[in-house]
Homo-oligomer: A and B are copies of this chain.
Amino acid sequence: MSSAHTAIGQGVEFDAIRRMLERWGANARGVGDDAAVIPSIGDRSLVVSIDTSVENVHFRREWLTPREIGYRATAAALSDIAAMGARPLGILVAMTIPDGWRNELDGLTDGIGEASAKSAAPVIGGDTTRGHKLSLTITVLGTVRDALTRAGAQPGNSVYVTGRLGGPRAALRDLEAGRAPSEVNRERFAHPVPRILESAWLAANGATAAIDISDGLSAEVDHLASASKLSIIVRLEDVPAVEGVSPTDAVLSGEEYELLITGPASLDTAQFKERFGLDLTLIGEVTEGPIGAMITQNGKPVTLPAGYLHFTE
């Protein structure tokens, strides 16, 4: 892809696109033709994912700044690439923009640009349209030599999670009750971080399977177990939670965008922590047995309340 954009024609819609490209600067590349062209990806595999964030389904306008909304939608999409152990190649941004959001385009644009720049994933294409509710659909492209899938867990593997969970759920609970969340929890909700470099390190150090936590740890453990056709046990008491959050809330908290991985028992969690300033915590084991997830507390299976659901209007 060339860093120069194709000259864009006349019209209000194109003015908006030109303004976005201006704000993105060097972080947008080769936009303006019918499709983006990426000259070659060598002998690596292509990885691609799509993710939609809709107003009043995935976020509320009064809880986040436009910049945060743009950042969060983009970071959430990039997290899918991290879950594959892949290196980002670029993103495409489809925006549905209601009239009432027209004045917030700069903020949205800057937030998208922030997430894109932080992950070295330039904007290479997009589409804008009118609509009733703000909606951002981000397609993320990446490349990888050996993809880290959900299906690679092996019996005898250990189960790990990055970071500390529960912040987004605690923040959401406060926001829904009209309370201000703690700064730490709000930050976890508004500024999730796609774990791209962390994932590459994990893959290089023997991780066998990975998934990012968008629906809550307990749901993701179930996805990993189903995909790998194995049993996965997670010890509730070992799940790392942010301060003031119960272990149960930590495993049900969605939109974390931390990584749940399986790999050898020997993974060097201390080296990981030193390198990334982020916890890597051993929380369970992969075994033969009935396919699915089992959460235990002090050795006994526990049943959790219904898991993560998007909030309803």
Chain A residues in the interface with B (C-beta under 8 A): 6-11, 32-41, 43-52, 54, 56-58, 80-81, 83-84, 86, 92-94, 96, 124-127, 129-133, 135, 137, 139-142, 144, 147, 149-151, 210-212, 219, 222-223, 226-227, 229, 310
Contact = CB atoms under 8 A, between A and B. Distances in A.
A227 B32 contact: yes
The listed residue with most B CB atoms (<10 A of its CB), out of A34, A36, A140, A147, is A34
A49 to B, nearest CB: 4
B131 A37 contact: no
Given A7-B229, A52-B127, 7 more contacts: A34-B84, A34-B210, A41-B46, A46-B141, A50-B94, A56-B132, A132-B133
The count of identical subunits is 2
A190 to B, nearest CB: 20
7 contacts: A6-B227, A33-B150, A34-B81, A38-B45, A46-B46, A50-B127, A51-B94
B51 A127 contact: yes
A131 B57 contact: yes
A40 B8 CA distance: 32
